[in-house]
A and B are shown apart, each in its own frame.
Chain A
Amino acid sequence: MTRHRGRGIASVNYPIGMNLGGDPSQALVHSNPSGKFTVALSSIDLGQGMKSVTRQICAETLGVPVEDVYVDTADSDTGPHCMGSFASRGTHRVGNAVMAAAREARGVMMEAAAEELEVNAADLETDGRGNIHVKGAPHRSISTKDVAIAAQFKQGKTISGRGIFLVPLSDVDPETGEMSPATCYAHACLVAEVEVDDETGEVDMVRMDSAYELGRALNPRLVEQQLVGGAWMGVSHALYETPEPYYPEPVHGPRDFVEYLMPGPGDICPHDIAVLERPAPDGPFGAKGPGEMCANPVLPAVANAIFNAVGVRIDDLPITPEKVLRAIRAQGGARPQPRR
């Protein structure tokens, strides 16, 4: 028995969102008499952090503290339309919609503040701590709370804003068939190192090294969290997960968590991640989004690493020990490839 080490690489050019139907999402922002703001979305946070990121985007655009923004999500009765949480589109699409809504709400807020301070709205700025003051004259100031109260009880204004993000339709060139399926691309490159046992066909992950270019990371810890978890899912897709692991007949497949194979905490490997920030021109504050791309490069990188280790090319996922072993036997033994 020999255990062979191999290294594989994969790169991804990943489109953010989709094009069909313009891939729209909407957001509504309004102030409450307390001077705090509510963002109404029907978009869903599955745990990837969209609620936190849209909160940051709204606060930054309004010029108020992040604590003063509440995000209400996941209900199509109370929030405007969203296409959904998929295709790595949340930060980019929903973020842009929130930004547009917050911009409109900020306009009303500044007008209301201008009326109270008896100045021109164009001469006002926010301090990010809950106050609005005359540029260059911080003492000529009013709190966002007092502005909200004045708008509500005196001026009869709603401090609110509507936002939508819609991708312009890309026409198909009748000559070439060419079109632009997406407006924004994120990128990744991942190197996987594996150890393959040529007697059992088992593949162990040794380590991963990756670089992700995802526009501006609006919340770096959430980005890292998604990349770490997503890479685990990539390993799981590459080596473990299928409803029909060994036999073509579904009746032999797993029925529950006990039988459905996934790597456990003991099967993970060190993963070194570099996040590269190249702000996207059409992203909210330059953000694209990590999303599905967290998992995607892992699969081809692992398949390539297995080829590098034992010389077998498996193009059918997941790469189970049985498939590796059959392929090694078919070629008359492991054939380690040169390591570069």
Chain B
Amino acid sequence: MAKTALQFQHNGREVAIFVDGGTNLLVALRELIGDMTPKFGCGQGGCGTCSVLIDGELHLSCLTLAETVAGRSVETLDGIKDGPNLHPLQRAFADNFAAQCGYCTPGMLMAAKALLDRNPQPSRAEVVEAISGNICRCTGYEPIINAVLAAASGGRARA
């Protein structure tokens, strides 16, 4: 089968790869670009751990055909820190013990980032809704909700 040339922005960097028809974005990111931060959980949009931002909007990369991101901007967990400095959300997750096994963490962080990018001061209910598509098996969600709220109020303190 012929491969298709595909160009898009990956964490601000222009990338060009060849993909088979039907390749999903998760496979393209992990296997062709080598960005292992989006995780494979269920492969059918039920767990959220493969979440990425496409043009700033939250998407499940396992359900996104790679070819649909041509010319668009894809942001993954790998791109949210600023050099050696953690993103405020990553800092807040660490400070609030919001990870145990860590498998849901990349998706949780991207879902939280999508929320804070459009709503920097969310209510607790808005945080709950924002992460409700992401499954966590270890933390009981409470520390994750607290971490997102802490990152949001940290942002306010700096502003």
Contacts and interface: CB of A to CB of B under 8 A. Distances in A.
Interface in B100-132: 100-102, 127-129, 131-132
Nearest to A46: B101
Contacts of A232: 139-142
A257 interface: yes
A12 interface: no
Interface in A256-292: 256-258, 262, 264-266, 268, 271
B141 A268 contact: yes
Max chain B CB contacts within 10 Å: which of A225, A258, A271? A225
A266 to B, nearest CB: 5
A225 B97 contact: yes
Interface in B141-159: 141-145
A128 B143 CA distance: 32
Interface string A210-224: 000000000001101
B99 interface: yes
A47 B138 contact: yes
Given A222-B97, A266-B129, A256 B42 contact: yes
Contact of A47 (B42, B102, B128, B132): B102
B46 A225 contact: no
B142 A268 contact: yes
A257 B47 contact: yes
Contact of B132 (A222, A228, A230, A266): A266
A17 B116 CA distance: 44
A256 B47 CA distance: 10
Contacts of A222: 97
B131 A228 contact: no
A265 B131 contact: yes
B34 to A, nearest CB: 24
Interface residues on A, range: 20 to 34
A228 B102 CA distance: 16
Given A257-B46, A271-B142, A225 B128 contact: no
Nearest to B133: A264
B46 A266 contact: no
Given A47-B138, A228-B139, A228-B142, A221 B97 contact: yes
A270 to B, nearest CB: 9
A139 to B, nearest CB: 38
Contacts of A48: 100
A233 to B, nearest CB: 7
B4 interface: no
Interface in B25-61: 41-42, 44-47
A138 interface: no
A193 to B, nearest CB: 17
A90 to B, nearest CB: 13
A257 B42 contact: yes
B135 interface: yes
Contact of B135 (A47, A262, A266): A262
Contact of B128 (A224, A228, A229, A265): A265
A233 B25 CA distance: 32
Contacts of B135: 257, 262, 264
Given A46-B101, A47-B102, A48-B100, A268 B41 contact: no
A293 interface: no
A226 B100 CA distance: 8
Contacts of A325: none
A265 B135 CA distance: 9
A225 B100 contact: yes
Nearest 5 Cβ contacts at the A-B interface: A232-B140, A47-B101, A47-B100, A257-B46, A265-B141
Given A222-B97, A225-B139, 14 more contacts: A46-B100, A221-B97, A224-B97, A225-B97, A225-B143, A228-B140, A229-B138, A229-B140, A256-B42, A257-B46, A264-B141, A265-B132, A265-B145, A266-B129
6 contacts: A48-B100, A225-B97, A256-B42, A257-B44, A257-B135, A265-B132
